Structure 1
């Protein structure tokens, strides 16, 4: 296929070595275009975002999209932006989940005398329910780490490094410090020697079911994307006929299970509600994308997060 000449302009701060013009084949992939710009400018390819000058839509760094398919033609203008220092998505997730994986055990054992210094001494030993909640939190985030390393395939290789603090704050603060401090207090409902058995066993059953269902949904989503591509198919299987994102639904149900086991501790509910609002937003965006990308092939969902609710 014929070559075209693209006009290259920086967007934002100047990029040293950025060429003013680039010749490339129309059938070249978006990945090849990004690599050509990176090679010519000496910049890290993951720091670059390329948009069309005509409508500012992003030219994806992908193997399954060609320059011709993006609508670029001879003398088209492309804008190249330096996104700044980047960090791998997989690394971000590992760091995000590491805090709430370690914090509960630290709060419950070595840090306990220092956190609850204003209570009568000696402090009572952690109750069976507090130990159980600590175990559930550890299992949940250990599973998250496993999925990050062995299950998930990421559509983007990196994200801006500065975002790691914002992304980690949600998990470290709300799921780590917040839940651990309030649930493990010597005077919390979870510290009782006679907890509500119905809440405990119902919550434990809900947690186990939801964690396994969530893992199954992640494997289904993983298998929709071929390694090394961003191409996706229409998901189907357990939960996908009910909502757009059953992985989010089962995530919320698992946290409701922890809420029950904790004897209805509000700190768990706060984390669940904050995360649920964010997941609802993501789920609607995904539903809209499925409708746009798959058209009539896709069976539209009325509820995207919680079956028959929202």
Structure 2
């Protein structure tokens, strides 16, 4: 027997959307993604640019092949609100752009831009071995980030508002790129004027290598929890996941502590670590709450979300 068809009333919320139909007809058994496809085709907008909510309680109707119209509580003459989220950009593209700045900036500062940035010094000697090593570590780190973005990560959301790209990139381009490169590569920085401390150098290199490998492993574990093309997740387990909610963030910090030691304890690297750790801690706390809500008693709750014994 064919599923009953219902008429859904469509209303714009916020900025008017031209060509948006006032009503659409859908089968109760139809997936909610059909509602998105109908409205996207009629309006000429990308489905990722539309957010559809129920008028009764303002809950978001998912763009899903698995959720049904009936399952969301929509019935005959139910009202939905459609909001234009504005121009969108793919999350994968966002990450590529974010990491491109700090990938290129260190080498630019250390070599072609060096005489222009440090022109006020009486003499501008060539980069020291320690500065070259720091530049290499930064390059390796962000090359790894780019590789993971293209070949490893699976994103729960396809896009984000394009206007946010400047804000999102600023953290990496300014703090991890310009800030670190300018101060560490100065002719009078610790990495330039002090003899390398073997204890700091080799401990830093060890932490960096360990952090990068362990962080990559965590990303692979998280990738394998989500089936391609879906937003469903499993419960993460494996190295580090029994200690904290987000071991990938913990290993990221370990890696940056390695850069800090190799740099000769540069305040610019430490400043980036503090800012980045604070942001990652907020993300990890949200993820812990989401895991508890999503998996309930199946999930082993974590006391610490990012730094064992601290946060």
Q: Tell whether the structures are fold-level matches, with TM greater than 0.5.
A: yes
* 1:127-156 per-position Cα deviation (integer Å, ceiling 9, x unaligned): 111000000000000000000000011111
Equivalent residue for 1:60? 62
TM-score by length of 2: 0.97
Number of residue equivalences = 309
Match of residue 168 from structure 2? 167
Q: Distance in 2 between matches of 1:293 and 1:30?
A: 21
- Aligned-pair distance for 1:308? 1.8
The aligned counterpart of 2:212 is 211
Q: Does 1:112 align with 2:114?
A: yes
Query: Is the Cα–Cα contact under 8 Å of residues 62 and 230 in structure 1 kept in the other structure?
Result: no
Q: Which stretch has the larger CA shift, 190-199 or 247-256?
A: 190-199
RMSD over aligned CA atoms reads 1.1
Equivalent residue runs for 1:127-146 within 5 Å: 127-146=128-147
Structure 1, unpaired ranges of 5+: none
TM-score by length of 1: 0.97
Deviations along 1:214-234, whole A, 9 cap, x unmatched?
100101111111111111111
3-state SS of paired residue (1:162): helix
Partner residue, 1:244: 245
Alignment of 1:74-89 (within 5 A): 74-89=76-91
Q: Distance in 2 between matches of 1:95 and 1:263?
A: 29
Q: Say whether the 8 Å CA contact 1:64–1:230 is kept in structure 2.
A: no
Question: Secondary structure in 2 aligned to 1:24?
Answer: strand
Q: CA deviation at 1:163?
A: 0.6
- Whether the aligned pair in 2 keeps the contact of 1:24 and 1:33 (CA below 8 Å) is yes
Q: Equivalent residue for 2:302?
A: 301
In the alignment, which residue of structure 1 is the partner of 2:290?
A: 289
Structure 2 unaligned residues grouped into runs of 5+? none
Task: Identify the match of residue 48 of structure 2 among 40, 43, 46.
Answer: 46
- What is the deviation of 1:193? 5.0
Q: Which residue is equivalent to 2:148?
A: 147
Indicate how the Cα distance of structure 1 residues 84 and 74 shifts in structure 2: closer, same or farther if over 3 A, else same: same
